[in-house]
Amino acid sequence: MRSARPPMLRVGSAVALPLHPRSLLWTLLLLAALLAAAAATLCLGRLGVPLPELAGALTGDASPAQTFVLNRLRGPRLVVALGTGAALGLAGALFQSVTRNPLGSPDVIGLNWGAGAGAALAALALPGVVPVPLGALLGAAAAVLLVTAATGTGLRHPGRLIVAGIGVAAMAAAFTQFVVSALARDQASVLAAYVNGTLSARSWEHALTIWLVVALTTPLLAALARPVALNEMGDELADSLGASAARTRTSAITLSVVLSAAAVSVAGPIAFVSLTAPQIARRLTRASGPNLVVSALVGALVLTLADLAVQHFPFADGLPVGIATLAVGGVYLGFLLVREWRRGVL
Amino acid sequence: MTTTTAPPQARPARTALLLGGALLALGGAVLLSLAVGSKPTTPGQVWAALTHTADPYIAAVVASRYPRTVLGVLAGAALALSGLLMQGITRNPLADPGLLGVNAGAMAAVVTAIALLGPASTTATVWWALPGALLAGLVAYSVGGRESTGGTVRLVLAGAVVSAVLTAYVQAVALSMPEVFDHYRFWVVGSLAGRGFDVVAAVLPFVGVGVLLALLLAGGMNALALGEETATSLGANPTLVRSGGLVAATLLAAGATAAAGPIAFVGLAVPHVVRALAGGDFRHRVPLALLAGPTLLLLADVVGRFLLRPAELMVGVVTAFVGAPFLLYAVRRMRETA
């Protein structure tokens, strides 16, 4: 770490935010990339609105066909992808930061699959009784508790954490299979949605759910960013600086569970976005701490690009987006594992 | 795990008792597998059907459950033994053909073959499954299998990565060619339903050779459990035992997967139970696993038929739910250094 004080953004005497120029630069670049990916999502393909007409169509000057595409097909899908990717990126950044372990990510330890099982149960077994996001939340919480109990050492031991996560993920996936087989046996698309995660046929209601959760958690995240960053330096140091390590960990994991559950309840258990986004963000910014903003942007970009790929790649055409992230993220996880072993971390 | 404790002294009476009990349990599981289904039958009716004294309708109902029961026995024995061998070779209590990606490798190879060449006979399927299983196992082992601190976890993680990528591949292929894979929808999860005796006959030679090899290698595996040097000084050839065990484990896992699809956790759970019951001696553990594996798989299949009757739940789903807690249990018992 450099000893030079970072430049500060000051508003009056109340607000003083440290500025990390590299993070700022990447934030802007990622926003530009997101804009391009969003435009591509709306423009490409047979149904896409041609780029020159896009601005006009978005501001109300659209033909009925274009209105249908923007309002019903591509629009909600894009907005859900952005929100879900951001939520997954944030959840991963928080979790990886407090476990001090790139593999301590919600999708590696089975949290997303727990949420998926809860969502499937709420949607198929108790439709209308339990809202899907609540079911996902309960499932995710159950998964975290089960993993914590199985490790016996809380969430501190990376190896145990991950193996327990594999077991919990397998149980949750089996439970989801059971619920879907019992209640929606003939609907293969339902199975894909709950087992792999998909963004096809999303509505504005989904978009509202995910963005509401992201918006509501943003102030909490802002308040938590500093304690979480301190926590990375070790429990004792964090405690001595007045940020109780235990309390920080609990709050961060709770928020992470809420964000993952929201993401899963609108898009299903999408694999490995939580794992990859914070890692990419950290490499881009080279900043310590959870890198929340950049992680959220990378998450949104990764998911939007993956969704773009499954919509337009010749072989991937029409696949659930979760399969694409599973394949790409799986390779990345392998790369990450080998690197961690070389460093002797795991 | 308790790998540091020496194998306990052989207790023939206890082993005989265990084997007898396991045989009884297997007999019960077979009867249940023949009796439970969308048309429930009583054990008396099953017995009558077996002794050719039942009325033709009941006899036909029971007969329709023969293939899946025989397949359950075969696949259960193969998976349990495969897991036992893998745990012995890697000296890793978390080894399992499902967790190490071996089943996923077999499945990926089979799916590729079907996608390229169209539906094939089961025998051809097994021949495809073998290299896939071997390759996936070797990748997982070479990435994560080195014996050092943390090797236990590494192997499972490497297996999880291999499984994740291969599963994504299998699902992508299966979903993009629905007309080819409609028939395989249940197979992709692991199921004993809808297979005839031709499937059993096709995989029997592979499983048979695997079982024979395992029985022959049991003594060598005992020596191997004491460490490389001790094994050599005891007259065993560690390389031979290890490669023989790998071949046997692959044959067994590939055979089971080709017939029933990828079924995880049987290979993990059964060896743990067997070890708790019979101690460390492989000459006792191999036969006991041969009996306990089918019992677990058949019971899981029966539960799957019972839960959603008159429809049924794929057996792979049930074994994941029953077997995954064994993984959690093994995690709790892992040493701090692992």
Rounded average pLDDT over B160-166: 87
B311 touches chain A (CB under 8 A): yes
pTM: 0.83
Ordered alpha helix ranges (H), chain A: 21-43, 51-58, 64-68, 74-99, 111-120, 132-151, 158-183, 188-195, 204-231, 235-240, 245-267, 273-285, 292-312, 321-342
A125 touches chain B (CB under 8 A): no
Name the pLDDT band for A10 (thresholds 50, 70, 90). low
Q: Hey, how many other C-beta atoms are within 10 angstroms of the C-beta on B8?
A: 12
10 Å CB burial of residue A81 (0-12, 13-18, 19+) is buried
For the cut 90, the answer to whether the pLDDT of residue A300 exceeds it is yes
Name the pLDDT band for A142 (thresholds 50, 70, 90). very high
Name the pLDDT band for A126 (thresholds 50, 70, 90). confident
In terms of average pLDDT, the best of A30-39, A96-105, B74-83, B245-254 is B74-83
Take residue B191 and report the two structure tokens written for it: 């199921």
A111 touches chain B (CB under 8 A): no
B325 touches chain A (CB under 8 A): yes
Confidence at residue A326, expressed as pLDDT on a 0 to 100 scale: 87
Ordered alpha helix ranges (H), B197-237: 197-225, 228-233
- Convert the pLDDT of each residue in B191-208 to its tens digit: 888 778 888 888 899 999
Partner residue opposite A159 with nearest CB, options B99, B150, B189: B150
Share of chain A above pLDDT 70, in %: 88
For the cut 70, the answer to whether the pLDDT of residue A18 exceeds it is no
Determine the residue of chain B that is closest to A146 in CA distance. Answer: B328
Three-class SS string for A122-179? HHHHCCCCCCHHHHHHHHHHHHHHHHHHHHCECECCHHHHHHHHHHHHHHHHHHHHHH
Report d(CA A251, CA A143) in Å as an integer.
17
Share of chain B above pLDDT 90, in %: 19
At A17, phi and psi to the nearest 5? -105, 130
Rounded average pLDDT over B305-316: 82
Confidence at residue A163, expressed as pLDDT on a 0 to 100 scale: 83
B234 SS3 class: coil
Report d(CA A115, CA A123) in Å as an integer.
12
Partner residue opposite B332 with nearest CB, options A150, A271, A341: A150
Name the pLDDT band for B3 (thresholds 50, 70, 90). very low
Confidence at residue A3, expressed as pLDDT on a 0 to 100 scale: 47
- Convert the pLDDT of each residue in A40-55 to its tens digit: 888 887 777 777 777 7
A326 touches chain B (CB under 8 A): yes
Determine the residue of chain B that is closest to A103 in CA distance. Answer: B157
- Convert the pLDDT of each residue in A66-104 to its tens digit: 778 777 788 888 999 999 999 999 999 998 888 887 777
> Which residue is listed with tokens 């484990």?
B249
Confidence at residue B149, expressed as pLDDT on a 0 to 100 scale: 46
Closest CA to B74 of B198, B245, B203, B216: B203
Q: Report whether B46 contacts B32 (CB < 8 A).
A: no
Q: Which of residues 182-201 of B touch A (CB under 8 A)?
A: 185, 189
Confidence at residue A4, expressed as pLDDT on a 0 to 100 scale: 53
For all residues of chain B together, what is the average pLDDT? 83
Instruction: Provide, as residue numbers in chain B, all residues whose Cβ is less than 8 Å from the Cβ of A271.
Output: 164
- Convert the pLDDT of each residue in A170-185 to its tens digit: 888 888 888 877 776 6
The verdict on a CB contact (< 8 Å) between A170 and B143 is: no
Q: Which of residues 251-290 of A touch B (CB under 8 A)?
A: 271-272
For the cut 60, the answer to whether the pLDDT of residue B157 exceeds it is yes
- Convert the pLDDT of each residue in B220-236 to its tens digit: 888 888 877 888 888 88
Report d(CA A92, CA A311) in Å as an integer.
25
Confidence at residue B81, expressed as pLDDT on a 0 to 100 scale: 94
